Each structure stands twice: as C-alpha cells, then as structure tokens.
Structure 1
Amino acid sequence: MSRIAPLEPPYAPDIQQQFDRIMRGAPPLMLFRVMARHARAWDKFTAGSLLDRGPLTLREREIVIDRTCALNACEYEWGVHVATFAGPAQLNADQIRATVRGDADAACWSAAEQAMIAAVDALNHRVTLSDAEFAALSAHFDADKILEIMLLCGFYRTVAYLANGLALPLEAKAARFPAA
C-alpha cells in the first residue's frame, strides 16, 4: 500500500470526470488516486498539462518518459508506460530494454532518437545540456519539441519522486524492469 492512502471510490463527479479523461475508461492509477485525495496536490499535478501528447510523436514522447523513469529508478511509472504505450509507440523488446539498460548510442535507436536519449541522460545526470548535446538535438528537433523534451524530463522526474517516495506498489498490469 502507498505511504499516503489513496482516494477510494466512489469518486466525486469532477474527480471521476478527470480520471475518465486521463485514463480513458480504465481504472485510475494508484498515483492518481493518492494525488486526487489532496486537492492542492492534484490541481498542481494536473496543471502541469503534460498528460496530453504535445508536439512530440507518441514514440518520441514514450522514449523520453521511459528513459527518464528508468534513470530515476521509477519502475512504477516506467512499467505503466511500457505496458500501455510501448505497442502503440512501436517500441520493440530491444528498445524497451535499452530504455533501462542501454546507452544513448545503442544501435537500436535512430540518430534522432540517440540525440534525444543523450539529452534526456544529460538533463537527468547534470541538469543541463552541453552546446554539443543541444546542437545534436537541434539537428533533429525544432524548438517546440526540444522544450517538450525538457518539460517531460522534469515532469516525469517529479512523478518518480512521487511514486518512489510514496512507495507505490507496482500496478498489476504494468511491465517490470528487465533483468540486468
């Protein structure tokens, strides 16, 4: 169980509507139920407005999220995203594994994906990009996409703080980190 108790059904109509919008009919995640129990936290969490697609393709978005979650040891959120989006994002088994166990220059990634993963790694390890890393990213992505990559890294690092700090139990249908 979570260190902070989650909201239990039945949910208030406005919360149910938000869960339905975010989860598209699936039961709400434990993370959402914990956050929604605390109005200010839920409002701030959903105000991040990064729960939509934005300018990145689904594949690009999921690579950034999966890598950020893996770098922050957040198996909870990584597993939810892999189980839900790896198929639609066309991530194969080698690529899924590489989000956790691979280097940015792994052969399973395109040049654009390698630049993106190197940027995610830099942001998570050094909280900045070198001129060379920014130039490599700029060779493949416009300013809107670069900003979205940075925002997603920050948002999902926060998600990792929440999921890990709350000791959320892994969702039953979520993927698990690949073995070393």
Structure 2
Amino acid sequence: MTGPRIAPKEPPYSEAVTTALARIMPEGVPPLVLFRTLAKNERVFSRLMAGGLLDKGSVSLRERELVIDRTCWRCGSEYEWGVHVAFFGERVRLTPEEVRGLCTDDSEATPFSPRERLLLRLCDELHATSTVSDALWSELAREWSEAQLLELLVLAGYYHAISFVTNALRLPVESFGARFPKP
C-alpha cells in the first residue's frame, strides 16, 4: 500500500479544530497533513494539541529543535523532521553541516558544541534504551536544571509519539518539507 493510510480531513472543520489550526499555523500556511488527519478524531487532535511543547519553554528554541529533529530522525519520521527543519531550521540558525549532523549516527562527529552534542546523546540513548545512563545523566545535570531536564525528556517522548503516528499513517512529506540528507 502506498499513500497515507487515513486521508486527511478536508474543510470545513469544526469550530474547535478551526480555532486550534488558526492558533498553531502561521498565517497563509495551510494546515499540515498531520493536523488535518488527526482532526478526523477531534478528541485525539485536541489532546495532542494541548500536550504540545511548541510554546516558550525552559530550554532555548535551538535546544528544543535539536531534540525534536534528532528524535524524529532516530525514529525515521522524515515527515515531522522535514516540517521542523523547514519551519525552524533557519530561525535556530542550523547550518547545512548541522542539518546533516542531526542525521549522523556518531554524535561526536557532528559540528555541534559539546553542550549540544549532549542533547543528541540524550536522544540517542532514549531511543536505543528507553532510559538514560547515570553517566550521561550526570553530564546533563551539570548543564540543565531539573525543570529543563524534565522538559527535554518529555519533548523527546512526545516526538517519539508523533513519529510513530506519522510513520504508521505513512504521511507524505509536506511540499515545503526538508528531506533527510543523502548518506
């Protein structure tokens, strides 16, 4: 089977979905395929929108995006990775080398700072083991507060869930979306 497993909802949307889409989508940008598909189950749509961490949090926008992008790459979600790189990559000043580095197995071989490589390692360990080793936790705790560490953990987990949904639904990469770098 090719193509999405569930066709995205077409307008008109309910008032609640219309309001949520107006709040989260930049003006002039049509709703994402993911959001339109989730809108077929308004309860799930509203819960996922309420649980999102795209607001101003306790970590910087750049750090948040590194965690999202690395998590989505590890999960193989080109759809979600592509949306985030396209929407936020320039805002967080990701260089082409850094974009490629987000999709490299060896975090130490990336152009990121030592602090940012810790975030990549966090995503890698969570993805591979569903936990964080004591050694990595100690390094992370020297750089981020407890509140920030909680945010980083939940952010990685949230984007695992989003990746599972986008992959299982076989959502096509958005027309503006970035593509995984070629090896």
* TM-score grouping bracket, smaller chain normalisation: over 0.9
What does residue 95 of structure 1 align with?
98
1:106–1:114: 8 Å Cα contact kept in structure 2? Answer: no
Between Structure 1 and Structure 2, how many residues are aligned?
A: 180
What does residue 3 of structure 1 align with?
5
> What secondary structure is seen at the aligned counterpart in 1 of 2:112?
coil
Deviations 1:125-161 (A, max 9, x none): 1011111100111111111211111011110000111
Is 1:179 equivalent to 2:182 in the alignment? yes
Cα distance, 1:94–1:16 mapped onto 2, change above 3 Å: same
> What secondary structure is seen at the aligned counterpart in 1 of 2:132?
coil
What does residue 20 of structure 2 align with?
18
What pairs with 1:104-119 in structure 2 (closer than 5 Å)?
Answer: 104-119=107-122
What pairs with 1:125-136 in structure 2 (closer than 5 Å)?
Answer: 125-136=128-139
Where does structure 1 lack aligned partners over 5 or more consecutive residues?
none
Deviates more, 1:134-143 or 1:39-48: 39-48
Aligned-CA RMSD value: 1.2
Taking structure 2 as the reference length, the TM-score comes to 0.94
Distance 2:112 2:52 in 1: 28
> What secondary structure is seen at the aligned counterpart in 2 of 1:105?
helix
Distance 2:50 2:178 in 1: 27
Distance 2:170 2:128 in 1: 23
Is 1:140 equivalent to 2:181 in the alignment? no
Cα distance, 1:156–1:107 mapped onto 2, change above 3 Å: closer
1:53–1:61: 8 Å Cα contact kept in structure 2? Answer: no
1:6–1:33: 8 Å Cα contact kept in structure 2? Answer: yes
Where does structure 2 lack aligned partners over 5 or more consecutive residues?
none
Distance 1:73 1:53 in 2: 26
Shift of 1:109: 1.0
Structure 2 residue identity aligned to 1:156: Y
1:64–1:149: 8 Å Cα contact kept in structure 2? Answer: yes
Shift of 1:107: 4.6
Shift of 1:11: 1.9
